[in-house]
Amino acid sequence: MPSRNSINKPKDTMNQAHRRAAVAKKRAARARRGDFAPPRSAAASQSGEIKSTALALYTGAVEERGPWTTKTLSNKRKQKIERNKKYVAARNNKLLIDAQATAEEKMDVDEEPNPVQKKLIKKNTVKDALWSVIEDGVTSQLIVDAQGEGTTLGGPVF
């Protein structure tokens, strides 16, 4: 019989049959282990959960899903899990503080913005620019004759 990589190789039926048998064997092993027992839509399904033997031993939630190689947890792995729990607690605490800070920032609506922020908030139009020059001039003792004739200040035109 020619080899697998030769020019005169046989049809792929033998190779496909071997692959199908291996896949079927793996599927049967998963079914025996109970991986397919509850459907993924069921509440008891663990399809989205992390499957960690060490974590199950640490929390005490040892489940009889498959053959265990050991029933004990090493000290090194236990220390790693405890350290990771501290990191998770610190991260959750930081996220909680950040969420509270953003909520407090949103609640500070009653404060009046300072005059510089008011000017930035306003739309800059020509009319607003002219009025801001007049307001600034009044504060710096600029005397404007409002009784004059002409159209500079919008007076009457004949």
**Is the pLDDT higher at 76 or at 104?**
76
Alpha-carbon dihedral sign for residues 18, 23, 24, 26:
positive
The pLDDT tens digits for 77-93 are: 999 999 999 999 999 98
Alpha-carbon dihedral sign for residues 92, 95, 101, 105:
negative
pTM over 0.75: no
Query: Range with the lowest mean pLDDT among 36-40, 66-70, 75-79, 101-105?
Result: 66-70
pLDDT of residue 113: 61
CB contact at 8 A, 112 and 119: no
Both tokens of residue 133? 């020059």
